[in-house]
């Protein structure tokens, strides 16, 4: 699932607050959606966090089905808002969907309960569907989204953004300067600082074999999607056929089969694909990399900054990072935990890998440790949860 609301809620619960998450039962950001067994609503408690799931239409892709899902969820929030306000009586209401349409029912709940209203920005809508999907600013759905964003900027008591470079955009849409709080994605340190779960034997044997052959392991762990610029990584592998470097790609996703076929077609023998591993094995997997790769396609939207969870995982694993992203921020340079190269540029990736491989192992380890130190000081959910509470006050 999308873990940020869960981790924040868990921290607030530990600090003595009561937290309820209200969500659509159907969303593409989850591996498994909750089973409502035909009911229109499900209330349950997960790790002391109260959840309310509203049944909404299932969908795939970004077409009409997703729009209907959004409309059903927002309409349900409107209908059940007065009851939620009476029953739960919140002190703070956070509108935190990817899209801003839930700001209107969230404001209604906040008014009825005398609560502060917060607007949390994950992605910039309607700018995202306009710039990525080519929608006109005159499209009725885009105009509705714009009205919601403008309303949120004007009426929210505070605006929390994951993206670090959004101030100018939000102020242009009515946000008062004092309202903005920058609170990035983070991690749960408890999942990283204990002894990692040993890798499944098949994976451990594969990685051990590469070590015995003296190969430098460049690793990627995550979704194999177009956005992650893995084509660039395969192009780099093609340029490094004669280098003792193996590229390990772990995970699944819509592009995996095509990437595997390309590797076969081009005879990329030093590219190794691993099946997805459950969360418990990720620390041990990342620890096996000599260098962790993260890339994204070039997108104008990245001028507002990026906050990839994968990067935080790499840093917590104390791995030096090859960062092939062009964005308004560069966490790798800020933390001094790796090398930044031109996005979607295979030759630049090759140069970065060779520079890191030529480095003394102690230097690479020091880079990785700086990344972990940076995350522990700034990007753990105990830290971020406290910062978010200040925005709620």
DSSP designation for 157: S
- Whether 19 maps to a domain, the answer reads yes
Is 94 in the same domain as 133? yes
pLDDT tens per residue, range 6-47: 999 999 999 999 999 999 999 988 878 999 998 999 999 999
- Whether 326 maps to a domain, the answer reads yes
pLDDT tens per residue, range 304-354: 999 899 999 999 999 999 999 999 999 999 999 999 999 999 999 999 999
Last-in-domain residue among 154, 182, 210: 182
Is 227 in the same domain as 285? yes
Lowest mean pLDDT among 179-183, 192-196, 231-235: 192-196
- Whether 158 maps to a domain, the answer reads yes
Last-in-domain residue among 128, 152, 182: 182
- Whether 24 maps to a domain, the answer reads yes
Is 51 in the same domain as 135? yes
* Distance between CA atoms of residues 160 and 167, nearest Å: 11
Is 374 in the same domain as 259? yes
Average pLDDT taken over every residue of the chain: 96
H/E element, 372: helix 361-378
- Whether 277 maps to a domain, the answer reads yes
Is 131 in the same domain as 200? no
- Whether 328 maps to a domain, the answer reads yes
Beta partners for 321? Answer: 292, 338
* Distance between CA atoms of residues 23 and 307, nearest Å: 22
Last-in-domain residue among 128, 158, 182: 182
Q: What is the CATH number of the domain that holds 175?
A: 3.40.50.2000
On the CB side of 380, CA atoms within 13 Å amount to: 17
Is 368 in the same domain as 246? yes
Is 161 in the same domain as 247? no
Is 111 in the same domain as 168? yes
Is 173 in the same domain as 209? no
Is 199 in the same domain as 163? no
- Whether 386 maps to a domain, the answer reads no
Q: Look at residue 115 and tell me whether its pLDDT is greater than 90.
A: yes
- Whether 387 maps to a domain, the answer reads no
Q: Look at residue 1 and tell me whether its pLDDT is greater than 80.
A: no
Q: Look at residue 166 and tell me whether its pLDDT is greater than 80.
A: yes
Nearest 5°: phi and psi at 93? -120, 125
Q: Look at residue 107 and tell me whether its pLDDT is greater than 80.
A: yes
CB 49, CB 6: distance < 8 Å: yes
| CB atoms closer than 10 angstroms to residue 88 | 18
Q: By three-state DSSP, how is residue 181 classified?
A: strand
Mean pLDDT of 116-125: 96
Number of domains composing the chain: 2
H/E element, 105: helix 103-113
Percent of the chain with pLDDT over 70: 100
Which residues form the domain of 278?
Answer: 190-378
Is the bond leading into 126 cis (omega within 30 degrees of zero)?
A: yes
Is 61 in the same domain as 125? yes
């Amino acid at each position: 699932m999308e873990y940020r609301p869960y981790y924040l809620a868990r921290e607030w619960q530990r600090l003595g607050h009561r937290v309820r998450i209200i969500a659509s039962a159907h969303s593409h950001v989850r591996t498994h959606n909750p089973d409502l067994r035909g009911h229109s609503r499900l209330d349950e408690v997960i790790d002391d966090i109260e959840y309310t799931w509203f049944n909404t239409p299932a969908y795939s892709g970004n077409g009409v089905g997703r729009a209907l899902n959004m409309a059903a969820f927002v309409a349900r929030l409107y209908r059940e808002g007065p009851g939620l306000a009476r029953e739960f009586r919140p002190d703070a209401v956070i509108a935190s969907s990817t899209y801003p349409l839930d700001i209107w029912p969230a404001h209604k709940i906040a008014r009825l309960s005398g609560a502060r209203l917060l607007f949390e920005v994950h992605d910039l809508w309607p700018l995202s569907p306009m710039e990525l999907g080519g929608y006109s600013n005159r499209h009725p759905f885009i105009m509705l989204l714009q009205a919601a964003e403008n309303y949120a900027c004007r009426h929210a008591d505070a605006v929390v953004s994951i993206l670090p470079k959004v101030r100018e955009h939000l102020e242009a849409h009515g946000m008062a300067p004092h309202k903005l709080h920058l609170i990035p994605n983070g991690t749960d340190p408890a999942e990283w600082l204990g002894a990692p779960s040993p890798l499944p034997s098949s994976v451990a044997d594969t990685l051990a074999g590469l070590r015995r052959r003296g190969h430098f392991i460049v690793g990627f762990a995550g979704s194999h999607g177009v956005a992650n610029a893995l084509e660039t990584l395969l192009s780099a592998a093609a340029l490094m056929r004669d280098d003792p470097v193996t590229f390990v790609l772990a995970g699944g996703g819509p592009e995996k089969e095509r990437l595997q076929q390309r590797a076969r077609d081009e005879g990329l023998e030093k590219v190794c694909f691993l099946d997805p591993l459950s969360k418990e094995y990720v620390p041990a997997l990342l620890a096996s990399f000599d260098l962790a790769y993260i890339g994204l396609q070039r997108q104008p939207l990245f001028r507002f900054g990026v906050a990839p969870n994968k990067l935080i995982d790499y840093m917590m694993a104390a791995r030096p990072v090859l960062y092939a992203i062009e964005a308004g921020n560069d966490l790798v340079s800020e933390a001094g935990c790796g090398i930044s190269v031109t996005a979607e540029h295979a030759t630049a990736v090759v140069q970065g890998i060779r520079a890191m491989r030529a480095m003394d192992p102690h230097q690479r380890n020091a880079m990785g440790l700086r990344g972990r130190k940076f995350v522990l000081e700034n990007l753990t959910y105990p830290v971020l949860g406290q910062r978010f509470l200040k925005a709620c006050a």
